Protein backbone atom coordinates (compact mmCIF):
# COMPACT_ATOMS: atom_id res chain seq x y z
CA UNK A 1 0.00 0.00 0.00
CA UNK A 2 2.87 2.38 0.68
CA UNK A 3 4.37 2.01 -2.78
CA UNK A 4 0.94 2.18 -4.42
CA UNK A 5 0.11 5.41 -2.60
CA UNK A 6 3.48 7.03 -3.32
CA UNK A 7 3.38 6.00 -7.00
CA UNK A 8 -0.15 7.34 -7.36
CA UNK A 9 0.84 10.63 -5.73
CA UNK A 10 3.87 11.02 -7.99
CA UNK A 11 1.56 10.89 -11.01
CA UNK A 12 -1.53 12.63 -9.62
CA UNK A 13 -0.47 15.16 -6.98
CA UNK A 14 -2.41 18.39 -6.77
CA UNK A 15 -0.28 21.32 -7.93
CA UNK A 16 -0.20 23.52 -4.85
CA UNK A 17 2.47 26.20 -4.48
CA UNK A 18 3.43 25.37 -0.93
CA UNK A 19 4.20 21.78 -1.86
CA UNK A 20 7.23 22.95 -3.82
CA UNK A 21 9.22 23.72 -0.67
CA UNK A 22 10.32 21.96 2.48
CA UNK A 23 11.62 25.12 4.14
CA UNK A 24 10.40 24.81 7.76
CA UNK A 25 9.09 28.36 8.06
CA UNK A 26 7.32 28.17 4.71
CA UNK A 27 5.74 24.87 5.73
CA UNK A 28 4.66 26.25 9.09
CA UNK A 29 3.03 29.29 7.45
CA UNK A 30 1.28 27.11 4.88
CA UNK A 31 -0.18 24.87 7.57
CA UNK A 32 -1.49 27.81 9.57
CA UNK A 33 -3.03 29.40 6.48
CA UNK A 34 -4.57 26.10 5.36
CA UNK A 35 -6.56 25.71 8.58
CA UNK A 36 -10.22 26.28 7.71
CA UNK A 37 -9.20 27.44 4.20
CA UNK A 38 -9.75 25.58 0.93
CA UNK A 39 -6.44 24.24 -0.40
CA UNK A 40 -6.23 26.14 -3.70
CA UNK A 41 -7.19 29.41 -2.04
CA UNK A 42 -4.71 28.75 0.77
CA UNK A 43 -1.93 28.16 -1.75
CA UNK A 44 -2.54 31.51 -3.47
CA UNK A 45 -2.65 33.32 -0.11
CA UNK A 46 0.51 31.55 1.02
CA UNK A 47 2.43 32.74 -2.05
CA UNK A 48 1.56 36.35 -1.26
CA UNK A 49 2.23 36.05 2.45
CA UNK A 50 5.53 34.18 2.24
CA UNK A 51 6.83 36.61 -0.40
CA UNK A 52 6.33 39.44 2.09
CA UNK A 53 7.42 37.54 5.20
CA UNK A 54 9.92 34.91 4.03
CA UNK A 55 11.46 34.36 7.47
CA UNK A 56 10.31 34.42 11.10
CA UNK A 57 12.39 37.56 11.61
CA UNK A 58 10.53 39.37 8.83
CA UNK A 59 7.16 38.65 10.42
CA UNK A 60 8.35 39.31 13.97
CA UNK A 61 9.54 42.77 12.91
CA UNK A 62 6.07 44.08 12.01
CA UNK A 63 3.19 45.02 14.29
CA UNK A 64 0.11 42.86 14.86
CA UNK A 65 -1.86 45.50 12.95
CA UNK A 66 0.23 44.96 9.83
CA UNK A 67 -0.21 41.19 10.06
CA UNK A 68 -3.97 41.42 10.54
CA UNK A 69 -4.19 43.64 7.46
CA UNK A 70 -2.11 41.13 5.48
CA UNK A 71 -4.44 38.35 6.66
CA UNK A 72 -7.55 39.95 5.17
CA UNK A 73 -9.81 37.43 3.47
CA UNK A 74 -8.44 34.36 5.24
CA UNK A 75 -10.76 34.43 8.27
CA UNK A 76 -9.97 33.29 11.81
CA UNK A 77 -7.79 36.32 12.37
CA UNK A 78 -6.53 34.96 15.68
CA UNK A 79 -4.28 32.77 13.56
CA UNK A 80 -2.50 35.84 12.22
CA UNK A 81 -1.80 37.21 15.70
CA UNK A 82 -0.67 33.79 16.93
CA UNK A 83 1.58 33.26 13.90
CA UNK A 84 3.32 36.57 14.52
CA UNK A 85 3.72 35.65 18.21
CA UNK A 86 5.22 32.32 17.14
CA UNK A 87 7.64 34.17 14.85
CA UNK A 88 8.72 36.37 17.76
CA UNK A 89 9.32 33.30 19.92
CA UNK A 90 11.30 31.58 17.15
CA UNK A 91 13.51 34.64 16.78
CA UNK A 92 14.02 35.06 20.53
CA UNK A 93 14.42 31.42 21.55
CA UNK A 94 15.70 29.61 18.44
CA UNK A 95 17.84 32.20 16.66
CA UNK A 96 15.24 32.57 13.93
CA UNK A 97 15.15 28.87 13.01
CA UNK A 98 11.96 26.81 13.29
CA UNK A 99 12.67 24.09 15.88
CA UNK A 100 12.61 20.43 14.86
CA UNK A 101 11.18 19.14 18.15
CA UNK A 102 7.54 18.26 18.71
CA UNK A 103 7.57 19.66 22.24
CA UNK A 104 9.20 22.90 21.08
CA UNK A 105 6.74 23.31 18.20
CA UNK A 106 3.59 22.77 20.27
CA UNK A 107 4.93 25.28 22.80
CA UNK A 108 4.80 28.00 20.13
CA UNK A 109 1.71 30.24 20.16
CA UNK A 110 -1.09 28.87 18.01
CA UNK A 111 0.69 25.63 17.08
CA UNK A 112 -1.19 22.46 17.97
CA UNK A 113 -0.25 18.77 17.68
CA UNK A 114 -1.43 18.45 14.07
CA UNK A 115 0.52 21.46 12.82
CA UNK A 116 3.62 20.38 14.73
CA UNK A 117 3.53 16.91 13.19
CA UNK A 118 2.87 18.32 9.73
CA UNK A 119 5.97 20.52 10.02
CA UNK A 120 8.06 17.61 11.30
CA UNK A 121 6.90 15.32 8.48
CA UNK A 122 6.98 17.77 5.57
CA UNK A 123 9.94 19.97 6.51
CA UNK A 124 12.12 17.60 8.53
CA UNK A 125 11.07 14.21 7.10
CA UNK A 126 10.25 12.77 10.48
CA UNK A 127 8.16 9.56 10.17
CA UNK A 128 5.15 10.95 12.01
CA UNK A 129 1.54 11.06 10.87
CA UNK A 130 -0.11 14.48 10.69
CA UNK A 131 -3.71 13.52 11.30
CA UNK A 132 -5.93 16.08 9.70
CA UNK A 133 -9.51 15.02 8.97
CA UNK A 134 -8.70 13.51 5.55
CA UNK A 135 -5.62 11.60 6.65
CA UNK A 136 -7.36 10.32 9.77
CA UNK A 137 -10.19 8.97 7.65
CA UNK A 138 -7.89 7.21 5.15
CA UNK A 139 -5.79 5.64 7.90
CA UNK A 140 -8.83 4.62 9.90
CA UNK A 141 -10.58 3.03 6.96
CA UNK A 142 -7.92 1.66 4.62
CA UNK A 143 -5.31 0.57 7.14
CA UNK A 144 -7.36 -0.15 10.26
CA UNK A 145 -10.65 -1.23 8.74
CA UNK A 146 -12.68 1.35 10.67
CA UNK A 147 -11.43 -0.11 13.96
CA UNK A 148 -12.01 2.37 16.76
CA UNK A 149 -8.86 2.92 18.84
CA UNK A 150 -7.98 5.25 21.69
CA UNK A 151 -6.38 8.41 20.35
CA UNK A 152 -2.87 7.53 21.53
CA UNK A 153 -3.05 4.09 19.90
CA UNK A 154 -4.49 5.54 16.70
CA UNK A 155 -1.63 8.03 16.47
CA UNK A 156 0.96 5.33 17.16
CA UNK A 157 -0.51 3.07 14.47
CA UNK A 158 -0.62 5.91 11.96
CA UNK A 159 3.02 6.76 12.70
CA UNK A 160 4.02 3.17 11.96
CA UNK A 161 2.49 3.38 8.47
CA UNK A 162 4.63 6.37 7.40
CA UNK A 163 7.32 5.11 4.98
CA UNK A 164 10.85 6.16 6.01
CA UNK A 165 12.36 8.99 3.95
CA UNK A 166 9.01 9.75 2.30
CA UNK A 167 7.10 11.47 5.08
CA UNK A 168 6.31 14.62 3.09
CA UNK A 169 5.00 12.82 0.00
CA UNK A 170 3.08 10.42 2.24
CA UNK A 171 1.39 13.26 4.08
CA UNK A 172 0.36 15.05 0.88
CA UNK A 173 -0.73 11.79 -0.78
CA UNK A 174 -3.09 10.78 2.02
CA UNK A 175 -4.54 14.30 2.08
CA UNK A 176 -5.29 14.05 -1.63
CA UNK A 177 -6.75 10.53 -1.43
CA UNK A 178 -8.95 11.60 1.46
CA UNK A 179 -10.16 14.69 -0.38
CA UNK A 180 -10.76 12.98 -3.74
CA UNK A 181 -11.88 9.46 -2.89
CA UNK A 182 -12.12 8.57 0.78
CA UNK A 183 -14.76 11.16 1.49
CA UNK A 184 -16.79 11.22 4.67
CA UNK A 185 -20.03 10.72 2.79
CA UNK A 186 -20.34 8.79 -0.46
CA UNK A 187 -16.69 7.62 -0.70
CA UNK A 188 -15.57 6.91 -4.27
CA UNK A 189 -14.17 3.48 -3.48
CA UNK A 190 -14.43 2.23 -7.07
CA UNK A 191 -11.91 4.87 -8.23
CA UNK A 192 -9.61 4.87 -5.20
CA UNK A 193 -6.01 3.84 -5.97
CA UNK A 194 -5.81 1.62 -2.88
CA UNK A 195 -9.22 -0.02 -3.20
CA UNK A 196 -7.70 -3.47 -3.75
CA UNK A 197 -5.94 -3.35 -0.37
CA UNK A 198 -8.45 -1.34 1.64
CA UNK A 199 -9.64 -3.14 4.78
CA UNK A 200 -12.70 -0.92 5.02
CA UNK A 201 -13.88 -1.81 1.51
CA UNK A 202 -13.06 -5.49 2.04
CA UNK A 203 -15.25 -5.48 5.15
CA UNK A 204 -18.20 -4.11 3.20
CA UNK A 205 -17.75 -0.48 4.23
CA UNK A 206 -19.01 -0.87 7.81
CA UNK A 207 -20.71 2.09 9.39
CA UNK A 208 -18.98 3.88 12.24
CA UNK A 209 -17.07 7.08 12.73
CA UNK A 210 -13.36 6.75 12.01
CA UNK A 211 -12.56 10.44 11.64
CA UNK A 212 -13.41 11.35 15.20
CA UNK A 213 -11.47 14.21 16.63
CA UNK A 214 -10.14 17.17 14.73
CA UNK A 215 -7.14 19.45 14.74
CA UNK A 216 -9.27 22.36 13.63
CA UNK A 217 -10.53 24.98 16.08
CA UNK A 218 -14.19 25.04 17.00
CA UNK A 219 -15.62 27.83 14.85
CA UNK A 220 -17.67 30.74 16.07
CA UNK A 221 -21.35 30.75 15.03
CA UNK A 222 -21.66 32.12 11.51
CA UNK A 223 -23.37 35.33 12.63
CA UNK A 224 -20.65 36.02 15.20
CA UNK A 225 -17.94 35.38 12.61
CA UNK A 226 -19.65 37.89 10.31
CA UNK A 227 -19.69 40.54 13.03
CA UNK A 228 -16.05 39.94 13.98
CA UNK A 229 -15.10 40.22 10.33
CA UNK A 230 -16.94 43.53 9.90
CA UNK A 231 -15.31 44.99 13.03
CA UNK A 232 -11.84 44.01 11.84
CA UNK A 233 -12.54 45.24 8.31
CA UNK A 234 -13.39 48.69 9.67
CA UNK A 235 -10.16 48.72 11.65
CA UNK A 236 -8.14 47.55 8.64
CA UNK A 237 -9.55 50.36 6.53
CA UNK A 238 -8.72 53.05 9.08
CA UNK A 239 -5.40 54.92 8.87
CA UNK A 240 -2.62 53.37 10.93
CA UNK A 241 -2.86 54.11 14.68
CA UNK A 242 -6.28 55.72 14.28
CA UNK A 243 -9.03 54.76 16.72
CA UNK A 244 -12.40 53.88 15.20
CA UNK A 245 -15.60 54.76 17.01
CA UNK A 246 -18.12 51.90 17.20
CA UNK A 247 -21.04 53.91 18.48
CA UNK A 248 -23.85 52.10 16.69
CA UNK A 249 -25.14 48.71 15.69
CA UNK A 250 -23.61 46.78 12.80
CA UNK A 251 -26.01 45.02 10.48
CA UNK A 252 -28.53 43.11 12.57
CA UNK A 253 -26.24 43.16 15.62
CA UNK A 254 -27.26 45.58 18.36
CA UNK A 255 -24.74 47.99 19.83
CA UNK A 256 -24.26 45.92 23.00
CA UNK A 257 -23.42 42.84 20.86
CA UNK A 258 -20.85 44.91 18.96
CA UNK A 259 -19.24 46.02 22.22
CA UNK A 260 -19.16 42.45 23.53
CA UNK A 261 -17.34 41.29 20.40
CA UNK A 262 -14.92 44.21 20.59
CA UNK A 263 -14.15 43.17 24.18
CA UNK A 264 -13.49 39.59 23.04
CA UNK A 265 -11.21 40.76 20.23
CA UNK A 266 -9.35 42.91 22.74
CA UNK A 267 -8.92 39.94 25.09
CA UNK A 268 -7.57 37.89 22.17
CA UNK A 269 -4.93 40.52 21.40
CA UNK A 270 -6.31 41.61 18.04
CA UNK A 271 -7.16 45.19 18.93
CA UNK A 272 -6.59 47.80 21.61
CA UNK A 273 -9.01 50.23 23.20
CA UNK A 274 -8.72 53.98 23.66
CA UNK A 275 -8.16 54.09 27.41
CA UNK A 276 -11.31 52.97 29.22
CA UNK A 277 -13.62 53.67 26.28
CA UNK A 278 -15.11 50.28 25.27
CA UNK A 279 -16.31 51.49 21.87
CA UNK A 280 -13.18 53.13 20.47
CA UNK A 281 -10.63 50.65 19.13
CA UNK A 282 -7.73 50.23 16.72
CA UNK A 283 -5.51 47.41 15.53
CA UNK A 284 -2.56 46.91 17.85
CA UNK A 285 0.14 49.23 16.58
CA UNK A 286 3.18 47.90 18.47
pLDDT per position in the chain (286 positions), as tens? 999 999 999 999 999 999 999 999 999 999 999 987 888 889 999 999 999 999 999 999 999 999 998 988 887 788 999 999 999 999 999 999 999 999 999 999 999 999 999 999 999 999 999 999 999 999 999 999 877 889 999 999 999 999 999 999 999 999 999 999 999 988 999 999 999 999 999 989 876 555 444 444 555 566 788 898 899 999 988 888 889 999 899 988 899 999 999 999 988 888 989 988 899 999 987 7
Q: Where are the alpha helices (DSSP H) in the chain?
A: 2-12, 24-34, 39-52, 56-60, 64-70, 78-94, 102-106, 113-124, 133-138, 151-161, 167-180, 199-202, 222-237, 255-267
Query: Do 120 and 31 lie in a common domain?
Result: yes
Q: What pLDDT, on the 0 to 100 scale, is given for residue 221?
A: 65
Q: Which of 95, 124, 153 is the last residue of a domain?
A: 124
Among left, alpha and beta (phi > 0; psi -120 to 50; other), residue 173 is alpha
Taking phi over 0 as left and psi of -120 to 50 as alpha, with beta for the rest, 163 belongs to beta
pLDDT of amino acid 208: 53
Q: What is the pLDDT of residue 211?
A: 45
Indicate the residue among 71, 104, 124 that finishes a domain: 124
Q: Quote the pTM value.
A: 0.79
Q: What is the pLDDT of residue 214?
A: 44
Q: Tell me how many domains the chain contains.
A: 3
Query: Is 127 in contact with 159 (CB distance < 8 Å)?
Result: yes
Are residues 237 and 274 both part of a single domain?
yes
Give the integer Cα–Cα distance in Å for 69 and 235: 9
As annotated, the active-site residues are: 31
Residue 18 lies in a domain: no
Judgement on whether residues 197 and 242 belong to the same structural domain of the protein: no
Amino acid sequence: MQSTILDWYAANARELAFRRTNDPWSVLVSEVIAQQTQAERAAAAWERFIAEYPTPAALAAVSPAVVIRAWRGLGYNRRAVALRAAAVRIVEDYDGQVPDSFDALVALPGIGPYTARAVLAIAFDWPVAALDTNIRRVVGRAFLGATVLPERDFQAAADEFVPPRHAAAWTHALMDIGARYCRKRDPRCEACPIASSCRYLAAGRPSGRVDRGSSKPVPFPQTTRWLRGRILDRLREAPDRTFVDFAASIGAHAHDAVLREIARLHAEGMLELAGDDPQRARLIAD
